[in-house]
Every structure is written in structure tokens, then in C-alpha cells.
A and B are shown apart, each in its own frame.
Chain A
């Protein structure tokens, strides 16, 4: 469409003003929405290929963030297979997303193990590991509870009790939404479609 760019801009601005003042087309997020909008805490860890990964490098992409571990037989596979569905529902928008699992069990979850684990669900998923102190700090920053519980009577040796909800960070790096474990992928996808 050719035309005077500034006129087009004014037209768009007026339309936006009308829409927001009427409130008619404002979308109501179904997930937990964080207000006011604030930047997500920095993340700098190692991905499942052994390469450095930082949240700052993901500007322009919507980042899904979950804290789990590979010995988890139930909660984590549920979230990861839900994410496969969310990704599918997002269609083209999936190209602008990153799905990231940070391990709460860096002692056992090496980059190689994360690679095998996440690759089983979808090789496009990112797995992050690092030193225990950095991860502990990250858990605090993101309000994640993750506690090791010793179980010498079990072959697992120890298990991790951990928060199972996940965060969504928008393409500008702001922490925007949180979803409870088991939220219908349709709901997640619908919300994320209204995020930039």
C-alpha cells in the first residue's frame, strides 16, 4: 500500500487510541500476569551443547522458562509434552519462541544428559545447566522453590522438590506471564499469541 507514511502513522495512532480508550479489544490474559511490566532477571548458563546461553541474547524471541530435572518421572515430562502442543498451536509464531528448561539438579544433569532428555521431546527445546550457586540464585530471582530431599532407601538417592509452574518472558525481555503446571496448552498458546 503506497501512501504518505506520516498520514498512515497518524491513522494507526488514532485507531490505537480509539481502541485503547474504548477498552473494547483489550485482551485479558488467562495466565498470571505480572504488573507492572518489569525486565526478567538475567540468565547466563550453559546449554545442552556446551555453549554459553544468555537471556539477553534472546531479545526478539518469547522465552518459556521452566525449572525441572531429568530424573523427574512425571511433572517435567508433562510440561515438556504440553510445550510440544503449545508450539504446534502457535503455528508461525513458534519461530519467535524459545522453550527453556533450567535444571534444578546440576549435580546430575550435565549438558550431555540434558541434550538426550530434551532431544527426546523436541530437539528445539533448550536445556540449561551451570554451577549450583548460580542456579540457586536464579531460582531465588524467579521465585522458584527447589529443594533436595535425601532418599537413601530409594535407588534415586535423592529427589528434588520443585515449583512446577513456568514463566513466559516477552521479546523485549520483560517477565510477563506465569502458568500453573498442567494448564491447557490451548490456553497457553492463546495468551502467547497476544504477547509481543
Chain B
């Protein structure tokens, strides 16, 4: 067995172990059509399992600091630039990227800072309606269990480094929460000219 095969086998074995040990069980349900706590905007698009809204995906990142004495939770996100927005966790386990939705949202414990960043938690925008180009902005509404909701101005950067080098927007406050370092990486919409955009079930849209 030459070196490449040996190494490949080893990588696969290590990766397989990582997958098994890192497996998550998703127990949330959204089948009755009501909006799920945890960031689902609107109901699941109908159609075959595995089908997803037309359009590409992007991630939004930020740091949320809870200066209060009450634990809070990010429970919903929505934006007009994508058909669906969700809160996800990403974990790099031994070189394998594993991503999973957080249907119960993201805890922001009292007195703590939670970072949404590449390779970790992020807001996932699914079914982009147009390209997200560096230098542009879009609005993202975030809703917390206790602090309520606020609309964020999200700038788009080419890379994490160009974001890091850029002047930052002023932090915004909502209740006891401070939100800063908000950004998104550039992403293509992948729209098919002939595609019909998926329409969400209006009866499942959460009341704003």
C-alpha cells in the first residue's frame, strides 16, 4: 500500500470516528406548520425532502454580549435578502466540518459574550435572492427571548481578514444585550433564470 493510500485510509478512519463521536440528534419538530422557535422564518417550503429554496447560502456573524443578570436566547432571525434564515452551529472535528441547525436558538447567558464567527455559530441565510457583494449592506432582524427584536445593518466583506481590517460599525444595544462586529462574507445567489422562487406559507409567518 503506497503512502497516499495509507494516508487516505488513515484520514478516513479518523474522520469516521469523529463523525460517530460528534453525531447530533435533532429532535425539534415543525410539522404542524407553526413557526419554530430557534430562527425559522416561515414554514418549511413544501416539496420533496432534500429540496431547498432556489438560491445560494451565506453566513452572518457577530458578537453578542449580555450585560444583564438574566439569561437570554437568540430565537429568530429574518432578512429580505434570503428566503429563509436559521441559526446554525459549525464544528470542525478533526478536519471534518459538521454543521447543524439550532432549532431552540442560541443561549446568550447573563454576563457572557457569545461569538458568531466562521467555523462556529452563525446565522445561515438560505435561498439568497441576490448576490451579496463586498461593499454592500443588507438588513437582518434578530429576535431575543427577553431583549426583543432589533434590525441590524450588515456590511458584506470579501474575507474575514478584510472585515478585521475595516472600521467597525458602532455597537447596537437591545435591552441588556450589546451587538457588535456584525458582518457577512460575499456569496453568490445561484439563481436560475427559469426558477420560480419558493413561496412561504403566509399562515406560518411569525407575527412581528
Asked if A143 meets B52 with Cβ closer than 8 Å, knowing A81-B159, A161-B96, A164-B97, the reply is no
Contact segment of A1-9, A18-26, A151-159 = A151-159
Separation of A175 and B97 alpha carbons in the complex (Å): 23
Within 8 A of A (CB), among B94-129: 95-101, 103, 118-119, 122, 124-127
Does chain A have a CB within 8 A of B28? yes
Asked whether A140 lies within 8 Å of B12 as measured between CB atoms, the reply is yes
Report if A155-B126 is in contact (Cβ < 8 Å); known contacts: A72-B57, A117-B190: yes
Docked complex Cα distance between A150 and B50 (Å):
8
Q: B19 and A38: CB pair below 8 A? A: no
Q: Which residues of chain B are within 8 angstroms of A72 by Cβ–Cβ distance?
A: 57, 97, 99
A77 interfacial contact with B, CB 8 Å: yes
B158 near A: Cβ within 8 Å? yes
- Could you say which residues of chain A place their CB within 8 Å of the CB of B40? 153, 155
Residues in B whose Cβ lies below 8 Å from that of A156: 52, 57, 86, 101, 124, 126
How far, in whole Å, are A144 and B86 apart by their CA atoms in the complex? 27
Chain B's interface size range is 35 or more
Q: Kindly state whether residue B9 has any CB partner on chain A within 8 Å.
A: yes
Bound form: Cα–Cα A107–B131 in Å? 23
Contact call B190/A74, Cβ cutoff below 8 A: no
Q: Please, which residues of chain A bring their CB within 8 A of the CB of B84?
A: 155
Of B7, B44, B125, which one neighbours A143 at CB under 8 angstroms?
A: B7
Main DSSP-derived SS at the A contact region = mixed
Q: With the chains together, A111 CA to B84 CA distance in Å?
A: 24
A117 contacts B188, CB within 8 Å? yes
Q: Which residue of A lies closest to B16 (CB)?
A: A145
Cα A157 to Cα B51 in complex, Å, equals: 6
Q: Which 9 residue pairs spanning A and B have beta carbons closest together?
A: A143-B8, A145-B15, A120-B188, A143-B11, A155-B84, A73-B59, A154-B101, A73-B57, A161-B98
Given A164-B97, A180-B95, 17 more pairs with CB closer than 8 A: A34-B7, A36-B3, A70-B56, A73-B122, A74-B59, A74-B99, A74-B118, A75-B90, A107-B50, A120-B186, A153-B30, A153-B36, A155-B44, A155-B45, A159-B99, A162-B97, A163-B95
Provide 19 A-B residue pairs closer than 8 Å at the C-beta atoms, listed in order of the A residue.
A34-B4, A36-B3, A70-B57, A73-B59, A73-B187, A74-B59, A75-B92, A120-B188, A140-B8, A141-B8, A142-B8, A145-B11, A151-B101, A153-B40, A155-B84, A156-B57, A159-B100, A161-B99, A181-B97
